């Protein structure tokens, strides 16, 4: 290394290349495209970086400057009934990108193989620094495919592998969110609850059901475990399911919904029968969308920390941590009149 003592100046990429016995282009590839470099060569380059303290002074800067300015978001399939929360999340993700001098680009998914080709073109063509994917299924092939191809990404949500997955993901703690709703209505004297919108085939919905079951058991509301309704998450379903619950032999006095459209449907049914949401029966939703403030009834709803989730996803795509990070962020409960017994 031309005899210069370590510490006399900041090490350059050429210094690392000289010490590792490789070209400067190989060092650049190790930093920006490690998947194209053999494991043995990566090990030599990383050893040289450590000896020269290169990571501490220039690697982060090199990563920032070498990466494209675009972060790509894979749009989930269109929801026939709409998804206000995910629509708002895209805005938070764009803001999260702009906060770190990045721009958001959108990718439409048209089947897994077509998506993988699109991601390869964007990443290896230096048009995108990495990807954010969402709406993951239990055995979702997308994170597996992206990881196999060496394409950086972070997932909004987990697969069935959960904390064992070898990629990073972020989501709100869905079980905690529903547990907060259960505790909220239980604190107001409700002993007969119902859980509406169960779907064990979707990871986050399964977590919400877990939160309901565990909270009911903790509060001694064992009778409420018999009122778990598997159904869709749209407003029309909320109207129908609530009517069925009210007509049952043991109707609930509090309805915990996995979505705001379901909760809005529950409110409509209660009002159609001359019942006052909050006073006669409590209703909670999930996602705190604009549906919580329609009409004269405000719906208490679990709010996900969307902006914080977006910021963490952007960070993970940019920083590409050596070990996968699995982040559960705490939700909050926004209280409104649908759970107020004094209305």
Which DSSP string do the residues of 13-43 spell out, in sequence order?
HHHHHHHHTS-HHHHHHHHH-GGGS-HHHHH
Q: Which two tokens stand for residue 318?
A: 């940019």
Q: Which two tokens stand for residue 43?
A: 């090990």
Instruction: Write the CA distances from 293 to 134, 235, 289, 306, integer angstroms.
Output: 27, 14, 8, 19
Flag whether the pTM goes above 0.75: yes
**pLDDT exceeds cutoff 90 at 76:** no
- pLDDT tens across 277-328, in order? 999 999 999 999 999 987 789 999 999 999 999 999 999 999 999 899 999 9
- pLDDT tens across 244-281, in order? 999 999 999 999 999 999 999 999 999 999 999 999 99
pLDDT of residue 9: 58
Nearest to 45 by CA among 90, 11, 10, 80: 11
**pLDDT exceeds cutoff 80 at 67:** no
pLDDT of residue 111: 87
pLDDT of residue 65: 53
Q: Measured in Å, how far apart are the chain's first and last C-alpha atoms?
A: 78
Confidence of residue 5 (pLDDT cuts 50, 70, 90): very low
- pLDDT tens across 96-125, in order? 999 998 999 999 877 889 999 999 999 999
> For residues 30 and 46, is the Cβ–Cβ distance under 8 A?
yes
- pLDDT tens across 142-201, in order? 999 999 999 999 999 999 999 999 999 999 999 999 999 999 999 999 999 999 999 999
pLDDT of residue 6: 39
- pLDDT tens across 207-241, in order? 999 999 999 999 999 999 999 999 999 999 999 99
Buried b / exposed e along 107-146 (16+ C-beta atoms within 10 A): beeeeeeebbebbeebbeeeebbbbbbbbbeeebebbbbb
> How many CB atoms sit inside 10 A of residue 310's CB?
25
């Amino acid at each position: 290394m031309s005899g210069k003592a370590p510490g006399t100046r900041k090490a350059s990429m050429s210094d690392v290349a000289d010490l590792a016995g490789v070209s400067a282009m190989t060092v650049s590839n190790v930093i920006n495209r490690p998947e194209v470099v053999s494991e043995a060569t990566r090990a030599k380059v990383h050893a040289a970086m450590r000896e020269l303290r290169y990571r501490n002074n220039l690697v982060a800067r090199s990563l920032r400057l070498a990466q494209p300015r675009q972060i790509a978001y894979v749009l989930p399939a269109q929801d026939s009934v709409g998804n206000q929360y995910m629509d708002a999340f895209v805005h938070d993700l764009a803001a999260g990108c702009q906060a770190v001098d990045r721009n958001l680009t959108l990718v439409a998914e048209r089947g897994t193989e077509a998506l993988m080709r699109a991601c390869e073109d964007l990443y290896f063509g230096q048009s995108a620094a990495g990807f954010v994917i969402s709406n993951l299924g239990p055995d979702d092939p997308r994170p597996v495919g992206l990881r196999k191809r060496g394409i950086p990404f972070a997932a909004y949500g987990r697969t069935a592998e959960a904390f064992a997955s070898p990629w990073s993901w972020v989501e709100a703690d869905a079980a905690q969110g529903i547990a907060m709703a259960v505790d909220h209505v239980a604190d107001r004297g409700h002993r007969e609850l119902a859980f509406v919108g169960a779907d064990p085939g979707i990871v986050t919905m399964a977590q919400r059901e877990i939160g309901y079951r565990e909270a009911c058991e903790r509060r001694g509301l064992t009778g409420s475990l018999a009122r778990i309704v598997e159904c869709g998450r749209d407003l029309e379903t909320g109207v129908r399911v609530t009517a069925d619950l009210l007509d049952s032999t043991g109707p609930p006095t509090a309805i915990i919904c996995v979505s705001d459209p379901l909760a809005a449907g529950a409110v409509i049914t209660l009002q159609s029968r001359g019942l006052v949401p909050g006073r006669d029966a409590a209703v909670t939703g999930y996602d705190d969308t604009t549906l919580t403030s329609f009409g004269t009834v405000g719906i208490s709803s679990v709010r996900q920390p969307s902006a914080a989730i977006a910021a963490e996803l952007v960070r993970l795509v940019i920083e590409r941590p050596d070990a996968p990070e699995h982040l559960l962020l705490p939700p909050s409960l926004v209280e409104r009149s649908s759970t107020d017994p004094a209305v």
